[in-house]
Amino acid sequence: MIWIGAIQKTGSLSRLEPFGKDVRAVTVYTHTFVLGGQDGLADDREDPFFTASAATPGEAEAQAHAVYLKAISCSHDMKRKAPMLLECCLCGVQQRTALAHPVPVVTPSAAVKGKGKKPQRGGLFGWLRPG
């Protein structure tokens, strides 16, 4: 099926799950769509996307198609779901972003400044100090 304004990817993965006192292999099928950007090209690193997982390829495609139908007419009210992931609370599509709070970078000169002094320690395990 061709979805206008979106690219699609399908996949599958196998994983082990407990089954009673034994373990069995289970195959999960995925169907991902990426909505095209303003330039008509779709990139899952920048544009909204959605991945559906199901027991059969048909179920995964049906779940993804239901979200696609909502997403093409949605205004996308994105909320942060993870440090680098936004999710639309109206239709469920997701989008990758930069970190919410940048991680401080320690420069080599800052690391060298702190090496000169050793911390003061007390006597017995740091509790008693001679005095």
Q: How does pLDDT run across 56-102, given as a tens digit for each residue? A: 999 999 999 999 999 989 998 999 998 899 999 999 999 998 875 66
What gap in Å lies between CA 28 and CA 100, rounded to an integer?
Answer: 32
What gap in Å lies between CA 92 and CA 51, rounded to an integer?
Answer: 10
CA 19 to chain centre: 29
Whether 40 shows a pLDDT value over 90: the answer reads: no
pTM over 0.85: no
Closest C-alpha among 5, 21, 25, 127 to residue 74: 5
More confident residue, 80 or 127: 80
What gap in Å lies between CA 21 and CA 47, rounded to an integer?
Answer: 44
What is the per-residue pLDDT for 64? 96
Separation in Å, CA 86 to CA 7, 17, 32, 91, 98? 20, 30, 16, 12, 10
